[in-house]
Amino acid sequence: MTGNRARTLLAAGTVALVVLTGCGDGNDSPSTVATPLASLPPAEVVDRALSDIERFWTATYPSISDGKAFQPLQGGYHPYTQGSPPPACGGEEGVYQPNAFYCPVGDFIAWDAEQLIPQLQSNFGQLLVALVMAHEYGHAVQHRLGVTDQPTVVLEQQADCFAGAWLADAMAGHSGSFNGITPAQIDAALAGMLQLRDQPGTSATNEGAHGNAFDRIRALQDGVQNGATKCAGYSAENLPITEVPFTQERDAATGGNLPYDEAVATIIKDVEAYWAKAYPELTGQPWKQLSVQPFDAASPPACPNPDAIAGGAAFYCPDGDFIAYDDQKLQALYEQLGDNAVGLLLGDLYARAVQHRRGQSTQGSAGQLAVDCLNGSWTYDLLHRPKKSDVTTLSPGDLDEAVAALLALGRATGESGASGFERIAAYRDGVLNGLSACK
Ligand SMILES: [Zn+2]
């Protein structure tokens, strides 16, 4: 390995131990999800996870290493507490931090068994605890493959991808401990990953950058869908990294959030202009300007068959061909998750209008995923504009706000039947590949 980075941390900086409180109906609290391992203490969950991940790599490693056998960790596993700090890693003294890490020099994994792991388990479920261990194990795999001479952000996403490869194996029923994994458990774990992201505005080239949540979840899903061989091929040349540093003073001061009223007006103007351009491309027909109305919860506009989201707080009305949203609820979403959560919601309604106007369904899982892809295609457009002062662009953190909003509005138990995992994947397809991905 190169550089003097002695250890590979789970997350850059301080880990924010905050529960993502969804703005749904309150049924999406991950701590209420029933799971086969729910009654196990965190230490037992960690033990079972590590032994299962070792099983996975013993079986899988030869296929990505020209047949070489997997060598289990030589330095073992080390839970630590404030009173009993982690072992030294190379020349670096072991200091308590609410974190988890792999130490290449000592070839061991260590984790905060006092705060981090118990809190992750109680807030997001034991699957997140296992994924954290699988991520750290991914660093051990990189070390064995000899691929550590890459930017940190690539190594971190590769570790997430390797964790996803383990998850797919467990989902396929090969794990003795993590079986019967449900979409709700996965969505809870994804919500936890949002808490382990880099702070918005971290440059992807920073030492210690792990990637934003959008990129990290992409990497995890890549591992789930395409397996360890795909992860092993990660390099700076082939990874789509969306993490961008703050480039405007105003962004840095506000965290990239416009004031609410300005955000709503800017978003509506922008998504309207996008579809005026994109709808003819998609259908060969001209786009008619869409009417958008805020309403008070006590007096929503009349609509016989609303195509509603967010529990009816926002809808497209096919009969009147207009969009309406509960202004107070939208503002609450803005305050909770940020301005691009508003963008995600309004963009969803525009995508519904697109589908209705061109005679396509928005219902059920397939309809929702089509809407999410179209919504993502608008974000693709935002990401590929020339950076000029009069052009609306995304701020650091905006993609994570969209992912958080998707999880808050569309957990596995939600209205459409599509899981948050599937919805994020469909949205990302539009974000990374544009309108052509949604045809
Ligand atoms: Zn890492």
**Is the pLDDT assigned to residue 291 strictly greater than 90?**
yes
Q: Which two tokens stand for residue 4?
A: 């003097």
Q: Determine the longest span between alpha carbons in the chain, in angstroms.
A: 70
pLDDT at 204: 63
3-state SS class at 363: coil
CA 352 to centroid of ligand 1, rounded, Å: 38
Predicted pLDDT of residue 245:
56
Q: Is 365 or 198 the better-scoring residue by pLDDT?
A: 365
Binned at pLDDT 50, 70 and 90, residue 256 comes out as: low
pLDDT score recorded for residue 196: 77
- Ligand 1 mean position to 420 CA, how many Å? 23
The predicted pLDDT at position 35 comes to 42
H/E stretch holding 403 reads helix 398-409
Predicted confidence at residue 408, as pLDDT, reads 83
Per the CB < 8 A criterion, the answer to whether 278 and 309 are in contact is no
324 and 416 share one domain: yes
Model confidence at 237: pLDDT above 60: yes
Same domain, 76 and 217: yes
Q: Residue 239: inside a domain, yes or no?
A: no
Beta-sheet strands, E only, within 165-304: 291-295
pLDDT of residue 164 exceeding 60 = yes
| Band (50; pLDDT cuts 50, 70, 90) | very high
Mean pLDDT of 314-325: 97
Average pLDDT over residues 102-117: 94
CA gap 11, 134 in Å, rounded: 14
Mean per-residue pLDDT over the chain, rounded: 85
Distance 55 CA to ligand 1 centre (A): 20
Sign of CA dihedral 55, 111, 101, 186: positive
| pLDDT tens digits for range 73-108 | 999 999 999 999 999 998 888 899 888 999 999 999
> Ligand 1 centre from 393 Cα, in Å?
29
Distance 113 CA to ligand 1 centre (A): 17
Under 8 Å between Cβ of 357 and 421 = no
- Ligand 1 centre from 158 Cα, in Å? 9
Instruction: Write down how long the chain is.
Output: 439
Q: 224 near 190, Cβ under 8 Å? A: no
Q: Which is it for strands 100-103 and 108-112: parallel, antiparallel or unpaired?
A: antiparallel
Residues 223 and 260 in one domain: no
- As for how many domains the chain has, the answer is 2
Neighbours of 336 (CB within 10 A): 16
Q: Could you tell me which residue, 348 or 415, shows the higher pLDDT?
A: 348
C-alpha 133 to ligand 1 mean position (Å)? 10
Is the domain of 227 the same as that of 268? no
Of 197, 232, 267, the domain-final residue: 232
Is residue 366 located within the same domain as residue 416? Answer: yes
Is residue 226 situated within a structural domain? yes
For the residues 280-289, what does the mean pLDDT come to?
Answer: 97
CB 291 within 8 A of CB 323: yes
357-383 pLDDT per residue, tens: 999 999 999 999 999 999 999 999 988
pLDDT at 415: 64
Strand partners, 100: 111
Average pLDDT over residues 256-264: 85
What sign does the CA torsion over 22, 24, 30, 31 have? Answer: positive
pTM: 0.82
227 and 254 co-located in one domain: no
243 vs 151, residue with greater confidence: 151
Domain range for 127: 8-232
Identify the pLDDT of residue 27: 31
Element containing residue 307 per DSSP (H, E): strand 307-309
| Whole-angstrom Cα Rg for the chain | 22
Q: What is the pLDDT of residue 439?
A: 82
Q: Tokens in use for 104?
A: 């290449």
- Cα(77) to centroid(ligand 1), Å: 16
Report the alpha-carbon angle 336-15-126, nearest 5.
90
Q: Could you give the CA distance from residue 355 to residue 204 in angstroms, rounded to a whole number?
A: 36
**Residue 2 included in any domain:** no
Strands (E), 12-93: 77-80
% pLDDT > 70, the chain: 81
Whether 168 and 223 share a structural domain: yes
Whole-number Cα distances in Å, 424 to 361, 374, 400, 430:
19, 12, 11, 10
Going by pLDDT thresholds of 50, 70 and 90, the confidence category of residue 53 is very high
